[in-house]
Structure 1
Amino acid sequence: MDDTSSVVKITTPAGHDDEARYHPGADVSSINEKNLMWKVDLHVLPWLTIIYLFSFLDRGSIGNAKLYNLEEDLGITDNQYLICLSMFFLPYALFEPVSNVLLRRLSPSIWLSCMMFFWGIVMTLHGIVRSYAGLLTLRLLLGLTEAGLYPGVVYYISSWYKRSETGFRVAIFFSSATVAGAFSGLLAAGIAKMDGVGGRPGWAWIFILEGLATVILSIASFWIIQDFPDNAKFLTEAERVFIIRRLKADTRFSASGQTFKRAYVWQSLRDWKTYVAMGLYMGFDGPLYAFSLFTPSIINQLGFKATQANLLSVPVYTWGCIVTCIIGYLGDRTGRRYYINLALFAVGLAAYIILILSKTPALSYFAVYLAISIDAIKSPPHHLWIEANSVAWVANNVEGTYKRSVTLGMAIGFGNLNGAVTANIYRAHDRPWYRLGHAIILVYIAIGLICTIVFATSLKRENSRRDRGERDEVIEGVENSRAHERNGRFASVEDAQLDKGDEWSGFRYTL
């Protein structure tokens, strides 16, 4: 949008009376949309990206620490190590839907900052652990304290931007995961040289220093993280009205706030989209966490030493960061998230087929580059791209403040729960090629591909039904021969929008 068209008139959805807009008496004619959204970007995105970077840095650092004698010093077996990895995902996945509701009922500045503070403390304690029981307990606590960050931030971003803007912003946020992957390898290689300082091994200092940095950042977060558009302190009243109006015009009817009702939670629980989205997230989160924890080990087992393996992961994640942003931008510009998902899952299938069949380190290392496109953080590049695209796709097709928070929490939580499974598939006795692990990941990708097709086909079918008027509600005072009582009776279009969310007959799903 050029400057000559930046001052725009906010229109409202079809059938929505102009006087029913948010604060209809407010004059926003002087607001420059381009400048305002740039202001929002600067206040919302950078700190979220830093938080997510440290989240992935902290949870995945155990994979780097393993290369510096973690198992030997704690006296644990490979199976015990895998169990510790799995324990992280149980509380992490189960607490996510509840966390999203609390995020809305409290505020992002309070909830996200507290979450970060407590996982920083737990992370630091990893550096003084001395037994299997201690490590197991800390991984459980880390999963509990980090739970809700990922779906919470995705939901938070979707509360600020129009559906055509969400994907690129989510991609920027996700790109910090690949930066974390690259940074963790460099950081681990450097910190490991502190071996023996204070009587602690090098791997312990990886946990201690990263944990303390997280605690410091969490304290700053109380003042830096902004809240939702209806109460964010950095906006003027006119800017607040402008943003909420543009969101409402983009079918974000609940942008001005929504009173909590249990009915909104039930809307999510009985919506087919929630369960197909769970399968979709399963398709990329399973591979994501497998490679996030094992990429350094896989490269190590291909013939590279510990420090070399960590350093060789750096260009992989750098590549993933760049491509993630490109995919997010294309998703917003073209609106064709379905086709992007299909293409990316296809790349993922090719990557893991190569990993299964490969017998040479160079070819396997090349496949790791293909794989990050579906994974994201410490893995090969193809899952991060598909995750950013899929997250935006699901968030764009669920309307209602609390319904969207629960749907994203359940879908992302279930996806993360599969990390408990895939954390156990790269077994020591399968090295160096780990073919069983790669084969299981291939099945996950196939599930994601099937759910993508089901999701898109069902959305398209539902749009057609609405075009034919099969979902029209009865609106008092509005003549509509296609309206039927089974779809509900409402005093106004706005009441129908707020009560039904994306089930409102005027809502159209995006592919």
Structure 2
Amino acid sequence: MASPDSSTHRVPNEKHHISGIEGTAHEAAERGHAATDRYGNALVHFDPVAERKLRLKIDLMIVPTVALLYLFCFIDRANIGNAKLAGLEKELHMAGYDYNIVLSCFYISYILFEIPANMLCKKIGPGWFIPGTTLLFGICSFGTAFVHNFSAMCGVRFVLGIFEAGMLPGIAYYLSRWYRRSELAFRLSLYIVMAPLAGAFGGLLASGILKLESVGSLRSWRMIFVIEGIITCGLAIIGFFTLTDRPATAKWLTQEERDLAIARVKSERVGTTEVLDKIDTAKMLKGIFSPMTLLTSFIFLLDNVTVQGLAFFLPTIVRTIYPKNTVVSQQLRTVPPYIVGAFFTVLVPFASWRLDNRTWLFILSAPFMMTGYIMFLASTEAQVRYGATFLITTGAFSFGALTNAQVSANVVSDTARAAAIGTNVMFGNIGGLISTWAFLPFDTPNYHIGNGLNLATASVILLLSIGMYFFVKIDNKKRESKDIDSELDGLSDKAIQDLDWKHPAFRWRA
């Protein structure tokens, strides 16, 4: 029986030295060739300097476009909170739970289309799908400016949910084509940070728009939707020209750099012979029903009760804290907590990249949210409650990057990865649906029900994250005792690839 070490130490061949890669790198980058042995050890060695240069090039060419598109994705979703302050409810004759129902309409379609949208993204390619769906939800946001009753608002929000469903998981899946597992969380944070920035920038933009007298015949809250919708459509058109579908088609990379980009991602996927496989039902189900996918997704569900609740209700919460302030002043008060949240949205995943660990950061983030909601429940002082919003955004906003990176790191094939990320975001948006009913009109101004619910979800996140840590330790120890050769003997290459996370050489990543 061959030892694991015998297949990983190869003599460098100068003929195959490609942009800092030694050995069989060129072959590893091609379809039909594995970049690991059957024990999960990489067959290719990489020059860290060449990798660093390539990574920076990818960062500069890929991340800014998707970050900007996601910024306006979140603005187009959350601007209804700003519109509410500017008179939307009064003009559309909404009362009671009508606002909560409008928010729920968005999440119903958003949840239903999450996984199908991400599989469609894989099928037609992110380079076309991401700007295409951005254009559609930009048009939908623009159209929101012309609704005149509650039913029409429900309808337009339902359609908006269909078109936005593929953005968060689609971009996460897209970036997984370019980055190693340890690198992914930080790169995800560079676009997910646009969610809290959208809260800050959206408040500033809305307050600026509301200072205009009119846009054509449109006034007050309608101006918010029409202007932000036009900006979104313009950015989507630019995206068609700037997004590169995958490393193999990147004209801004040399052939050597393309080989390096493909081989280094492939070298982390045990038994994989092609980075972009065809959609396969067995692999898709492996991605959806991986225990790590389900556990992480439930954590994201709980976290999103807080994150989406802030997106829709922070302006309302600020109004209860500072009821005598002007509408513009209340809009501006929503900005600082989002700025703090944005800082930690990047800082925490950066720590994840350096530590190559996400579970400990789940555990450390949850107490910030718990403390914030305890402050809300324990005090009615304006400064205490406003201070609590800073603690909550500190703990909550990094989970979007961390959870998507976690499910991506714990499956093998591209199909399983697309399905796992789609599942994670789908669960997260079930949390978003719950959040639309967390802050109810009869519970104002102190919102004991909403704050109590969020304290409970943050507490469960802490317990589940500790459980995840021990699951990884215990199950990986069991996997160490497996006889890899005997379990793989007699299996075809396809059967081995279909094992995905059930491959005996696979190890869970914390």
Alignment of 1:68-467 (within 5 A): 68-251=86-269, 253=272, 256-303=275-322, 304-373=325-394, 382-467=395-480
Cα deviation for residue 438 of structure 1 reads: 0.8
Taking structure 1 as reference, are residues 254 and 417 closer, same or farther at Cα in structure 2, changes over 3 Å only? farther
**Does the CA contact (< 8 Å) of 1:164 and 1:332 recur in 2?**
yes
Separation of aligned partners in 2, 1:307 and 1:343: 35
Cα deviation for residue 183 of structure 1 reads: 0.6
Q: What amino acid is the match of 1:120? A: G
The alignment partner of 1:92 has SS state of helix
Taking structure 1 as reference, are residues 83 and 17 closer, same or farther at Cα in structure 2, changes over 3 Å only? closer
Cα deviation for residue 92 of structure 1 reads: 0.6
**Does the CA contact (< 8 Å) of 2:204 and 2:335 recur in 1?**
yes
Separation of aligned partners in 2, 1:255 and 1:325: 31
User: Could you give the per-residue CA deviations for residues 465-500 of structure 1, whole angstroms, max 9, x where no partner exists?
Assistant: 221116x3xxxxxxx4xx24xx673256xx566332
Separation of aligned partners in 2, 1:196 and 1:251: 55
Separation of aligned partners in 2, 1:388 and 1:59: 19
Cα deviation for residue 280 of structure 1 reads: 1.3
Separation of aligned partners in 1, 2:187 and 2:275: 21
Cα deviation for residue 196 of structure 1 reads: 4.5
Residue aligning to 2:16: none
Residue aligning to 1:13: 36
Cα deviation for residue 32 of structure 1 reads: 2.4
Separation of aligned partners in 1, 2:442 and 2:102: 18
Taking structure 1 as reference, are residues 83 and 488 closer, same or farther at Cα in structure 2, changes over 3 Å only? farther
Structure 2 residues without counterparts, runs of 5 or longer: 1-18, 26-34
Separation of aligned partners in 2, 1:436 and 1:389: 28
Residue aligning to 2:508: 509
Residue aligning to 1:489: 490
Cα deviation for residue 245 of structure 1 reads: 1.2
Cα deviation for residue 461 of structure 1 reads: 2.1
User: Could you give the per-residue CA deviations for residues 164-188 of structure 1, whole angstroms, max 9, x where no partner exists?
Assistant: 1111111111111122111111111
Residue aligning to 1:53: 71
**Does the CA contact (< 8 Å) of 1:276 and 1:454 recur in 2?**
no
Taking structure 1 as reference, are residues 94 and 47 closer, same or farther at Cα in structure 2, changes over 3 Å only? same
**Does the CA contact (< 8 Å) of 2:203 and 2:334 recur in 1?**
yes
User: Could you give the per-residue CA deviations for residues 348-387 of structure 1, whole angstroms, max 9, x where no partner exists?
Assistant: 11111111112101001110000012xxxxxxxx211233
Q: What amino acid is the match of 2:111? A: A
Cα deviation for residue 155 of structure 1 reads: 1.4
Q: What amino acid is the match of 2:294? A: Y
Taking structure 1 as reference, are residues 395 and 500 closer, same or farther at Cα in structure 2, changes over 3 Å only? same
The alignment partner of 1:32 has SS state of helix
User: Could you give the per-residue CA deviations for residues 63-83 of structure 1, whole angstroms, max 9, x where no partner exists?
Assistant: 001111111111111411110
Separation of aligned partners in 1, 2:128 and 2:400: 27
Cα deviation for residue 106 of structure 1 reads: 0.6
Taking structure 1 as reference, are residues 358 and 17 closer, same or farther at Cα in structure 2, changes over 3 Å only? closer
Taking structure 1 as reference, are residues 126 and 434 closer, same or farther at Cα in structure 2, changes over 3 Å only? same
**Does the CA contact (< 8 Å) of 2:40 and 2:269 recur in 1?**
no
Cα deviation for residue 108 of structure 1 reads: 0.9
Separation of aligned partners in 2, 1:449 and 1:464: 23
Residue aligning to 1:376: none
Structure 1 residues without counterparts, runs of 5 or longer: 1-5, 374-381, 473-479
Residue aligning to 2:3: none
Q: CA RMSD in A?
A: 2.4
Taking structure 1 as reference, are residues 236 and 134 closer, same or farther at Cα in structure 2, changes over 3 Å only? same
* Greater mean alpha carbon deviation, residues 12-21 or residues 50-59: 12-21
Taking structure 1 as reference, are residues 159 and 456 closer, same or farther at Cα in structure 2, changes over 3 Å only? farther
Cα deviation for residue 447 of structure 1 reads: 3.0
Q: What amino acid is the match of 1:153? A: I
Taking structure 1 as reference, are residues 352 and 17 closer, same or farther at Cα in structure 2, changes over 3 Å only? closer
**Does the CA contact (< 8 Å) of 2:36 and 2:42 recur in 1?**
no
Cα deviation for residue 163 of structure 1 reads: 1.1
* Greater mean alpha carbon deviation, residues 125-134 or residues 316-325: 316-325
Cα deviation for residue 247 of structure 1 reads: 1.3
Taking structure 1 as reference, are residues 245 and 497 closer, same or farther at Cα in structure 2, changes over 3 Å only? farther
Separation of aligned partners in 1, 2:42 and 2:428: 43
**Does the CA contact (< 8 Å) of 2:214 and 2:223 recur in 1?**
no
Taking structure 1 as reference, are residues 138 and 437 closer, same or farther at Cα in structure 2, changes over 3 Å only? same
The alignment partner of 1:200 has SS state of coil
Taking structure 1 as reference, are residues 311 and 497 closer, same or farther at Cα in structure 2, changes over 3 Å only? farther
User: Could you give the per-residue CA deviations for residues 239-283 of structure 1, whole angstroms, max 9, x where no partner exists?
Assistant: 111111111222373663212222112223443223222211112
Separation of aligned partners in 2, 1:505 and 1:347: 38
Separation of aligned partners in 2, 1:9 and 1:350: 51
The alignment partner of 1:372 has SS state of helix
Cα deviation for residue 435 of structure 1 reads: 1.4
Separation of aligned partners in 1, 2:92 and 2:41: 67
Percent same amino acid among aligned pairs?
28
Cα deviation for residue 439 of structure 1 reads: 0.8
Separation of aligned partners in 2, 1:287 and 1:29: 42
